[in-house]
Amino acid sequence: MGRAAAVTAELLAWWLLLMAAWLVFISTVDALEGFVGAGCALLGASAACGARRAMGDR
Mean pLDDT of the chain: 90
Q: Considering its fold, how many domains does the chain have in total? A: 1
Distances (CA, A) of 13 to 7, 26, 31, 32, 56: 10, 20, 22, 22, 18
How far is Cα 11 from Cα 25, in angstroms, rounded to an integer?
21
Q: Is the overall model pTM greater than 0.85, yes or no? A: no
When pLDDT is averaged across residues 28-51 and rounded to a whole number, the result is 92
pLDDT at 29: 82
Structural domain including 10 reads 3-56
Which of 25-29, 43-47, 54-58 has the weakest average pLDDT?
54-58
Residue 23 has pLDDT above 80, yes or no: yes
Q: How many CB atoms lie within 10 A of CB 44?
A: 17
Cα(30)–Cα(36) distance, integer angstroms = 10
State what percent of residues in the chain have pLDDT above 90.
60
